[in-house]
Amino acid sequence: MNRILRDILSGVDNNSIDSGRVIWVVGAATFILSSVGFQGAAIYRGQSFDPFQFCTGFGAGFGAVLAAGGWGVAKKDKALAEVQQQVAA
C-alpha cells in the first residue's frame, strides 16, 4: 500500500512528493468524505439527500478542477522529462 501511495503522489523521479498531486488526492478524498458526511447528516436529521443532485451541483465544478489538475500535472511531468533529456544529451 505504501508503494502504491508513493507512486501516486511522487513526481517523475518517484522520489520527491509532488505538491500538485497531493492537493489533487486531498481534494478527491474531501469530495468523497463530504458527500458521505452530508448524506449521514441528512439521514440523522430525517431529511432526504439526493446524491445525484449533490454530484451534479458541487461535483461538476469539482470534476472540472480535478480534470484541470490532472492536465496540469501531466503537462508539468512531460515538460520536466523533456528538459531532463536535453540536459542529459
Residue of 3, 11, 5, 9 whose CA lies nearest to 75: 11
pTM above 0.75, yes or no: no
Distance (Å, rounded) from C-alpha 17 to C-alpha 15? 7
Sequence spans of domains, the chain: 2-9+17-88
* pLDDT tens digit at each of 89 positions of the chain: 788 888 778 877 777 888 888 887 888 788 788 888 888 888 899 988 777 777 777 767 777 777 888 888 888 888 888 888 888 87
Per-residue model confidence as pLDDT tens digits over 18-43: 888 888 788 878 878 888 888 888 88
